[in-house]
């Protein structure tokens, strides 16, 4: 871009490349609707006002014009889509920037996984902005495929598209002053550090924030969110596939607080992307629940941009990036045209750009030691056993102690009380590590589910009513080299192959959604399961979310931050 020529266009002397006339501009700077033209030169907005000269003129005829939406915290791997397919899914929805730290694929493939996505990002009409993964692995209580030290975090931060340090999930390490964790924070050199502080309050919250951590997306109650706002945190209001916090937190958005709040999805399935949308779906829900439309758009654009210090995004003004969306119905957020860097890249919900070649890199990442039937046996040492209890609509769990069913000295699932067996198999180093536990609230009446998507280390996780189906489902994951599997009566009923790092599919969005919906339906037919059962299953191995989890090393009491069994 020639700055002198941009200024000439702004003065009205030189013709713009593109002129969007008769727009009702959603002015996110001051929260009002403004009638004006927008002149674009190259990838920048040259001016807003009354313009007439341009190489191309599009008369918006009073349609609304807003900045492109920004998803301030997401893990694109949770869509199970190749990055090129992901861009085709979210750009037509108006998402033109995403902030992600890639700790999912980094936990499997390390630097190679990060490079795979950052290299692709440069070829897409979507600003993919990256945070250096701070927790690979998330804790010492599990086995991951890679390890990123404080020295390596510093190296990653030198990459031009790395804008900060990703969510600091090891909050016990921060609060206790763990030396390596503090070195990772120190490597940030004053850049944005995202937080992850479920349930932290009082002096522990003060300790966490004193390290320079700025935000949190794990608040689930009004009281928790209010305290974090009072202590200076930016509140990421999350509404994803299995983590739904919008209803609980939206009352916190007031004239006094809204500039400290913005919307994120964290984890969103391919099916939800196709049928509901991305960050646009969160904006629509907020409007439906009573939030004024312009304010809702501010919380998905300029608020996010200002938090991440993206000073040329989030608004429609001279010098800002020409990442724009047109809206036919503001209250319903019906998006028509999508412009990226001044070029029309989507219309009527369809991408107008082909994806770069979809390659099958990062294959053969599932490596497990051959299983023996007895390896899934839980020996009964007592009449009771700690059980992971699912909390509906949340990813937090409860730790409960239940009387157990015992047969021939082994702990057995108890279908009458909805207590099932949970298994985590290490899949990176073929170590033979197997974590065994029990889970309550999953609703299976027969069969088993298994997945290689298990946050954040992504070992194989399985839940089932019997060892035979669990064993068969795990074997199928190994054969597919990653994926989601439903099994009953030793028959594979449905599967979704994820051969790229055991996390992603190379197939188009509609194909992946079709496969995903088949496994979800097959799972639902096996009992009375909660919505998004595979998403729920994927988080049961994450030992940084209270209260009880299972990793390949065993049961983890997250509150005490130690292994139980």
| Separation in Å, CA 367 to CA 96, 145, 199 | 36, 10, 35
Please compute the mean of the pLDDT values over residues 190-204 and round it to a whole number: 94
pLDDT, position 349: 95
Name the band, by pLDDT with cuts 50, 70 and 90, for residue 190.
Answer: confident
Distant-in-sequence contacts of 336-339, Cβ < 8 A, 24+ apart: 336/63, 337/58, 338/68, 338/91, 338/92, 338/94, 338/96, 339/18, 339/40, 339/68
3-state secondary structure of 276: coil
Please report which residue ranges of 252-313 form alpha helices under DSSP H.
270-275, 279-288, 293-298, 302-307
Please compute the mean of the pLDDT values over residues 326-330 and round it to a whole number: 97
pLDDT higher than 80, residue 242 = no
pLDDT higher than 70, residue 508 = yes
Neighbours of 3 (CB within 10 A): 9
d(CA 556, CA 544): 9
Whether the Cβ atoms of residue 153 and residue 134 lie closer than 8 Å to each other: yes
Most confident of 29-38, 132-141, 391-400: 29-38
Element at 283 (helix H, strand E):
helix 279-288
Please compute the mean of the pLDDT values over residues 449-460 and round it to a whole number: 95
Element at 285 (helix H, strand E):
helix 279-288
pLDDT, position 135: 85
Please compute the mean of the pLDDT values over residues 88-111 and round it to a whole number: 94
Residue 364 tokens read as: 């053969």
pLDDT higher than 80, residue 565 = no
Name the band, by pLDDT with cuts 50, 70 and 90, for residue 139.
Answer: confident
Neighbours of 364 (CB within 10 A): 10
pLDDT tens digits, residue range 491-501?
A: 999 999 999 99
pLDDT higher than 90, residue 372 = no
Lowest mean pLDDT among 229-233, 255-259, 283-287, 382-386: 382-386
- Give me the DSSP letters along 490-530: TEEEEEEE--BTTTBB-S-HHHHHHHHHHHHHHHHTTB-PP
Name the band, by pLDDT with cuts 50, 70 and 90, for residue 393.
Answer: confident
Q: Which residue has the higher pLDDT, 373 or 545?
A: 545
pLDDT, position 360: 73
Percent of the chain with pLDDT over 90: 87
Whole-model pTM? 0.91
pLDDT higher than 90, residue 102 = no
To the nearest 10 degrees (0 to 180), the angle between helices 509-524 and 83-90 is: 90
Whether the Cβ atoms of residue 42 and residue 81 lie closer than 8 Å to each other: no
pLDDT higher than 80, residue 287 = yes
- In 3D space, the residue among 360, 339, 359, 342 whose CA is nearest the CA of residue 351 turns out to be 339
Domain definitions of the chain by residue range: 67-313, 373-563
Whether the Cβ atoms of residue 79 and residue 94 lie closer than 8 Å to each other: no
pLDDT tens digits, residue range 41-64?
A: 999 999 999 999 999 999 999 999
Name the band, by pLDDT with cuts 50, 70 and 90, for residue 373.
Answer: confident
In DSSP terms, 548 is beta-bridged to 557
pLDDT higher than 80, residue 37 = yes
pLDDT tens digits, residue range 58-91?
A: 999 999 999 999 999 999 999 999 999 999 999 9
Average pLDDT, the chain: 95
Whether the Cβ atoms of residue 404 and residue 414 lie closer than 8 Å to each other: yes
Residue 362 tokens read as: 């990062």
Q: Domain 67-313 sits in which CATH superfamily?
A: Metal-dependent hydrolases (3.20.20.140)
pLDDT higher than 90, residue 137 = no
pLDDT, position 160: 79
Element at 480 (helix H, strand E):
helix 467-480
Whether the Cβ atoms of residue 509 and residue 515 lie closer than 8 Å to each other: no
Q: How many CA atoms lie within 13 A of 430 on its CB side?
A: 8
Whether the Cβ atoms of residue 278 and residue 241 lie closer than 8 Å to each other: no
Residue 487 exposed, middle or buried by CB count within 10 Å (0-12, 13-18, 19+): buried
Name the band, by pLDDT with cuts 50, 70 and 90, for residue 104.
Answer: very high
3-state secondary structure of 183: helix
């Amino acid at each position: 871009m020639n700055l002198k020529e941009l200024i000439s266009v702004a003065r009205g002397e030189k013709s713009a490349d593109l002129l969007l006339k008769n727009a009702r501009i959603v002015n996110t700077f001051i929260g009002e609707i403004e009638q004006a033209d927008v002149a674009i030169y190259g990838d920048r907005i040259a001016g807003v006002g009354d313009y007439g000269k341009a190489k191309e003129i599009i008369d918006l005829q009073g349609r609304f014009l807003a900045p492109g939406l920004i998803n301030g915290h997401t893990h694109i791997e949770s869509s199970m889509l190749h990055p090129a397919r992901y861009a085709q899914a979210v750009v037509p929805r108006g998402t033109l920037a995403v902030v992600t730290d890639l700790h999912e694929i980094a936990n499997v493939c390390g630097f190679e996984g990060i490079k795979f996505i950052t290299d692709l990002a440069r070829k897409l009409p979507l600003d993919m902005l990256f945070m250096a993964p701070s927790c690979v692995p998330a804790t010492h209580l599990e086995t991951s495929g890679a390890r990123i030290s404080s020295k390596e975090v510093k190296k990653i931060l030198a990459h031009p598209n790395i804008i900060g340090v990703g969510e600091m999930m090891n909050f016990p390490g921060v609060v206790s002053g763990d030396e390596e964790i503090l070195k990772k924070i120190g490597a940030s050199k004053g850049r944005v550090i995202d937080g992850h502080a479920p349930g932290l309050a009082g002096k522990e919250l003060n300790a966490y924030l004193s390290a320079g951590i700025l935000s949190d997306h794990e608040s689930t109650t009004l009281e928790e969110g209010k305290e974090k706002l009072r202590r200076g945190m930016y509140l990421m209001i999350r509404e994803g596939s299995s983590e739904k916090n919008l209803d609980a937190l939206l009352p916190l958005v007031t004239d006094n607080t809204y500039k400290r709040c913005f919307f994120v999805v964290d984890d969103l399935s391919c099916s939800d992307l196709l049928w509901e949308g991305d960050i646009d779906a969160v904006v629509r829900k907020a409007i439906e629940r009573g939030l004024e439309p312009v304010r809702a758009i501010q919380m998905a654009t300029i608020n996010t941009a200002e938090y991440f210090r993206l000073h040329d995004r989030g608004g429609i003004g001279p010098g800002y990036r020409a990442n724009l969306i047109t809206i036919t119905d503001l209250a319903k957020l019906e998006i028509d045209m999508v412009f990226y860097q001044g070029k029309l890249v989507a219309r009527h919900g369809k991408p107008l750009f082909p994806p770069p070649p979809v390659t099958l890199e990062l294959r053969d990442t599932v490596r497990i030691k051959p299983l023996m039937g007895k390896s899934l046996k839980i020996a009964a040492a007592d009449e009771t056993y700690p059980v992971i209890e699912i909390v509906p609509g949340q990813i937090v769990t409860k730790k409960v102690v239940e009387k157990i069913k015992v047969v021939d000295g082994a702990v057995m699932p108890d279908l009458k009380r909805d207590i099932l067996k949970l298994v985590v198999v290490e899949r990176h180093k073929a170590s033979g590590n197997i974590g065994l536990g029990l889970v309550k609230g999953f609703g299976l009446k027969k069969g088993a589910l298994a997945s290689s998507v298990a946050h954040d280390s992504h070992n194989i996780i399985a839940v089932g009513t019997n060892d035979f189906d669990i064993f068969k489902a795990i074997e199928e994951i190994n054969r597919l080299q990653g994926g989601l599997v439903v099994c009953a009566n030793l028959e594979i009923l449905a599967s979704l192959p994820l051969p790229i790092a055991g996390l992603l599919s190379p197939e188009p969005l509609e194909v992946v959604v079709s496969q995903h919906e088949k496994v979800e339906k097959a799972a639902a037919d096996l009992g009375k399961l909660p919505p998004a059962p595979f998403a729920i299953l994927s988080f049961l191995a994450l030992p940084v979310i209270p209260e009880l989890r299972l990793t390949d090393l065993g049961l983890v009491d997250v509150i005490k931050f130690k292994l139980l069994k």
